[in-house]
Amino acid sequence: MATFTRLDDADARAIAGAFALGDAAALAPIAAGTINSNFALTTAAGRWFVRVNEGKAPADVAWEAALVVDLAAAGLPVPAPLPTADGARFLVHRGLLVSVFPWRSGHHRAPAAVTVADARAIGGALADLHRVASARPRATWRDGIYQFADIVARFEGFRASPDPALGHAVAVLADELAWLEAQAAVRAAAEHGVIHGDLFRDNVLWEGERLVAILDFEQASRGSLVYDLAVAVNDWCWDAGRREGAFRADLALALVAAYDARRPLSAADRVALPVELRAAAARFTVTRITDVHLRQVDNPDKDFRAFLARVEHWRGPGLGWPFSLV
């Protein structure tokens, strides 16, 4: 976790002024996230979440803002970025692309604290998100940066690594990625639209039993809707976030059933779901190796072995395939 850009009191005043938030009283960095720099801004008008969008083009920030505004307008629990005086949903300040969001109080669910009711809420919310986001004009959909070819390229980049910690992972991933490549037609036949791409527990806020906010649409893009469902199952339906953990079939069944009730799965979706469970597990194993392990980032919650365990779980009856989700 890091703050890549530092903001001072003068920055706080400029940001508060641009978004008409009143006098700035305090600005504090938030040690969360691995991509952007985030801050809590307190002003005369209240408390706000400030994001410095790191490494993005203005078009990327504008696209994400437009998507989130549409989702919020449709009634989804998505905090929409505030507009500046000229109507833009972000501010260019000192060459930085700054977004400001209403502050949402709440907490993240710990892995072992997720309930069946939580799983149902996540499944239903994801289905609603897919329906609304995918109803936007196709011309506005964008490609993501984690296409299968991108994941394979990342894997090839460390395949020959002498790191002893990667030996088993490389062997499993080589076989798994080859198998996934052979499933291309199955994956392509499933319903596609606009996906969140990263609906993990740390991107959802709760107040008690109520889901109050879905966050972080940076990975939103065109994609397989059932792949996005598989991403959620892989994070929400395990009783530990670090290392191996154990699969929770009751949570997975509840999550998928709630999704299916809001956006009925097609026959092709049902065939593709077991494939996408494996694809999602492999994708996050690979990116945690490249973005955390190989960069020596000290973040136990992003240990690649947690998702490698999921890859092995989904690989077949001999390695833990427990039942059909659909």
* CATH number, position 212: 3.90.1200.10
- d(CA 145, CA 148) in angstroms, rounded, equals 9
- 325 part of a folded domain: no
Choosing from 102, 121, 148, the residue where a domain stops is 102
**40 within domain boundaries:** yes
Question: What pLDDT does 1 receive?
Answer: 47
| Residue 88 burial by Cβ neighbours in a 10 Å radius (0-12, 13-18, 19+) | middle
Boundary (domain end) residue, out of 102, 122, 148: 102
- Say whether both 145 and 74 belong to one domain: no
Whether 123 and 98 share a structural domain: no
When divided into structural domains, the chain yields a total of 2
- Same domain as 44, residue 135: no
- Per-position DSSP letters for 199-212, written without gaps between them: --GGGEEEETTEEE
Q: Is 326 a domain residue?
A: no
Contact 23, 43 (CB under 8 A): yes
Considering just the CA atoms, what is the radius of gyration of the chain in Å?
20
Domain containing 29 equals 9-102
Model pTM score: 0.94
139 in the same domain as 69: no
Identify whether residues 241 and 173 lie together within a single domain: yes
With a cut of 50, which residues of the chain have pLDDT below it? 1, 318
**1 domain-assigned:** no
Query: 132 and 179, same structural domain?
Result: yes
